[in-house]
Amino acid sequence: MSGEIEEVGEDIKSTTMSSKDAETGEVYVVAGKNDLHVLQWALDHAISPGFRICLVHIFPTVKYIPTPVGNLSRSRLSKEQVQVYINEESNRRKNLLEKYIRLCNDAKVPVDTMLVESNSPAKALLDLIPVVKITSLVIGTRLSRSTRCCSPTSLNTPRAVWNPPLTRRGSPQPKCAARVGVYESDMPQDI
């Protein structure tokens, strides 16, 4: 398992930022396979003029490689076969991140990308926070199917409200991105 961070992108649009802005002018967004809505939320709610997005994509280390006869350990294949598979996976990641970069470009927000190789995404992200001094982080959340389907208000509530990204801006207390499911009745309670 490698803890190495590889920066694969540079600023798309050159901006001049003061040293104060450099400390607070970055919003890190965790980019998974289906998290375009998280990036869109960050662009709509967490970005101010002069800010930039840093996409963080965490992917697993390659231990097994799919073959026509099943998954084989890296050690059972030649270096060339392993390298071909790693290149294919790298191209898949590049194609995935191009969608995110395009969305940032359309919003005219500068973007960087970071690839982190780890089998434990949560631990890798926690280890990354002090290394690059992350103060603003946006992460998507998932609700279980049963939670989404069984809630009486879920039928009339937009997906973005039920599935808001979580944000934290360098404060000791996490701030709630959305408050959902609170119902207060004006009728007196019978005791």
- For residue range 119-144, list pLDDT tens digits in order: 999 999 999 999 999 999 998 876 66
* pLDDT, greater one: 119 or 191: 119
**Would you identify the CATH topology of the domain 5-169?**
Rossmann fold (3.40.50)
Q: Could you read off the pLDDT of 8-59 as tens digits, one per residue?
A: 333 333 222 333 334 558 999 999 888 899 999 999 988 888 899 999 999 9
Say what the pLDDT of residue 46 is.
86
Mean pLDDT score, 167-176: 45
Query: What pLDDT is attached to residue 35?
Result: 87
pLDDT digits (tens, 9 = 90+) for 67-124: 889 999 999 999 999 999 999 999 999 999 999 999 999 999 999 999 999 999 999 9
Q: Phi and psi for 128 in degrees, rounded to 5?
A: -75, -30
Q: How far apart are CA 73 and CA 67, in angstroms?
A: 10
The values of phi and psi at residue 184, to 5°, are: -115, 125
Structure tokens at 153: 């208000």
Evaluate if residue 165 carries a pLDDT over 50.
Answer: yes
Strands (E), 62-177: 64-67, 70-73, 111-117, 136-139, 166-169
* AA letter at 135: T
The pLDDT of residue 48 is: 84
Strands 136-139 and 5-7 turn out to be: unpaired
pTM: 0.63
Domain boundaries, the chain: 5-169
| Residue 125 and residue 114 in contact, taking contact as beta carbons nearer than 8 Å | no
* Ramachandran angles phi, psi of 66, nearest 5°: -70, 135
Nearest partner of 124 among 8, 15, 32, 12, judged by Cα: 32
